[in-house]
Structure 1
Amino acid sequence: MPVELIILVAAVIVSWLVFTALIKIVKTTVTTAIAVTAIVLILQIAFGIIPQDLWQQITQLPQIIWNLITGG
């Protein structure tokens, strides 16, 4: 086997692996984005919670957890 053919086969395999990994990452990202959007929309419609309220709770989450752990 010529060296060029081996390099070509290796390049095709590596390219396929990278492409497959990127497709999985994009699929996961889109799925997560849709889930987050659905949760925020449900919170808005069902409970009147605006995204700013949710974001405020998310940013305060470490402090809330710390207070639960320490009893403060």
Structure 2
Amino acid sequence: MPHDNAVAENFFNCLKCEFVHFQHFHTRKEAAVAIFRYIEAYSNSIRPYSGLGWIAPNSFEKMLSNASA
């Protein structure tokens, strides 16, 4: 199926366009730490996603857990 990786491809495209292309990393470790921070501090907490109704993943997860409680 051609759309199996669409979500992952979109995420990595956004990661590169919004973050990686604006950075210069001296080591792989430095890149890994910076990308982890970007994902945890921005992508999961602040950045809205259309597939989640234009809210951030952490907010969406909290909304789901509140609805099931």
Q: What TM-score, normalized to structure 2?
A: 0.29
Hey, which of these two has a bigger chunk of helix by percent? 1
Higher relative contact order (CA 8 A, sep 6+): 2
- Higher-Rg structure is 1
